Structure 1
Amino acid sequence: MGEVEIQALRGVDLDLYAGELTVMLGASGSGKSTLLNILGGLDRASGGEVRYRDQDLTRARDRVLTDFRRRHVGFVFQFYNLIASLTARENVALVTEISPAPMRPEEALDLVGLGDRLDHFPSQLSGGEQQRVAIARAVAKRPAVLLCDEPTGALDSRTGVRVLQVLQQVNRDLGTTTAVITHNAVIGDMADRVIRLADGQVQDIQINAARRDPAELQW
């Protein structure tokens, strides 16, 4: 910012493991969204190293990062980013048409419990249903990694529980490495690991012996 340099992340050193569900906890400004964007190839780190399996993404060209995002990563954001003029099926098809080995849109929507809402437009769906369409769109390309930025932030607790159950089911059924960032500490109980961030640094990593169903969490 002009002459002022702000370090969003400082000395972060961590691994995400295949098939695990990780929750990254932190207050606003802790660096969690920046970390997620770097992991997903949306932002570049100004220092350090970022690796995906045997691929070095640190200084990868834009074309390489685009291919990485297209083939390997699914994104779910706080706001659903659905196209209002397209049905749920058509919103998901936007991704399946450019992916090498996708699910059928109908299969992805059935996975998130919306098999009976295929031809509804976003305006005909509740907030939770729209977020589940967004999840279906993200997982339809069968990504190895699913990155979720405050996926329940715009939802009430009851609807949020349903969305978190869908994410847990996707992680379990597809074996997708899933990282959810949130400021809500309660959500950490559904994860294999909880990574706490503060002031751009990893403050603590906690391993959960057993994941809990989101419906059991005390909101």
Structure 2
Amino acid sequence: MENDGSAIALEAHELTKIYRMGAVEVHALRGVDVEFSEGELIVLLGPSGSGKSTLLNILGGLDTPTGGTVTFRGQLLRMDSERALNLYRRDHVGFVFQFYNLIPSLTARENVSLVTEIARNPMSPDEALSIVGLGDRIDHFPAQLSGGEQQRVAIARAIAKRPDLLLCDEPTGALDSKTGVLVLEAILKINRELGTTTALITHNAVIAEIANRVLYFADGRIVETRQNAVQRAPGELAW
């Protein structure tokens, strides 16, 4: 596993995941080894069903592997303890999904404050919304916001607890390219300004150009790893 000498934030060894449906076994992960360096921005690229989301869910403590280990900052994650996984998710991991999962009856500020009220050392909801460029939309309800604005509220909610890891599963999947660029700019800003180790799933190869490193998935395995010589700005992308 290549590493540029930076400290390792997260590593997985020999991860397997088998889903059993009756007599049928689906091998979602087939012995995956991966390392994420502190502050790195990684894009996971590959077709649907190749194992990207399964890997991200296990790395984030949302799912458990059939076999293998996950280590966060030198500490082995206890996959057999729901309490340990809950604390890991609460204290260290922010998630952003394709669909925003905002509560319609709450304003942007109130949606973000759901997280800040239970976090150990949160930033204020106003600060989190300002970082993603929505400082003037804090009192708006989701129905008053565009899709891209709603996704940026979801990002603000994820980063308000100052997570060490930001895991994004198709965050631009429901957006047009112009709106998607604004969302990617918010993710990149958080990665650079807060030093948040960030992993982003996409099936859109163009988006991979914003990453430090790209992991290509096929059939439950990482089949290729590429280091980008240059990170392109989201505004330079077109898809």
Which range, TM-score by smaller chain?
over 0.9
Q: Does 1:168 align with 2:173?
A: no
| Cα separation, 2, equivalents of 1:15 and 1:58 | 18
The match for 1:97 is 117
The match for 1:136 is 156
The match for 1:201 is 221
Report the alpha carbon displacement of residue 53 of structure 1 after superposing the two structures with TM.
1.2
Higher strand share: 2
The match for 1:2 is 22
| Cα separation, 2, equivalents of 1:159 and 1:218 | 11
Mapping of residues 145-164 of structure 1, within 5 Å: 145-164=165-184
| Cα separation, 2, equivalents of 1:26 and 1:206 | 13
Q: Deviations over 1:164-186 (max 9, x none)?
A: 01100000000000000010000
The match for 2:9 is none
Q: Is the 8 A contact 1:45 1:58 kept in 2?
A: no
Counterpart of 1:151, as a letter, is P
Report the alpha carbon displacement of residue 58 of structure 1 after superposing the two structures with TM.
4.7
Counterpart of 1:125, as a letter, is L
The match for 1:108 is 128
Q: Does 1:27 align with 2:47?
A: yes
The match for 1:39 is 59
Task: Tell me the percent identity.
Answer: 67
Q: Deviations over 1:87-123 (max 9, x none)?
A: 0000000000000100000000000000000100000
| Cα separation, 2, equivalents of 1:139 and 1:92 | 9
The match for 1:49 is 69
Larger RCO (alpha carbons 8 Å, 6+ apart): 1
Q: Deviations over 1:51-110 (max 9, x none)?
A: 111221153400000000000000000000000000000000000000010000000000
Question: Any stretches of 5+ residues in structure 2 without a counterpart?
Answer: 1-20
Q: If the length of structure 2 is used for normalisation, what is the TM-score?
A: 0.90
Aligned residues: 219
Structure 1 runs of 4+ aligned residues shifted over 2 Å read none
Report the alpha carbon displacement of residue 5 of structure 1 after superposing the two structures with TM.
1.1
Q: Deviations over 1:126-173 (max 9, x none)?
A: 000000000000000000000000000000010001100110000000
Q: Is the 8 A contact 2:46 2:202 kept in 1?
A: yes
Q: Is the 8 A contact 1:44 1:58 kept in 2?
A: no
Q: Is the 8 A contact 2:116 2:123 kept in 1?
A: yes
Report the alpha carbon displacement of residue 11 of structure 1 after superposing the two structures with TM.
1.3
Q: Does 1:69 align with 2:89?
A: yes
- Secondary structure at the residue paired with 1:147? strand
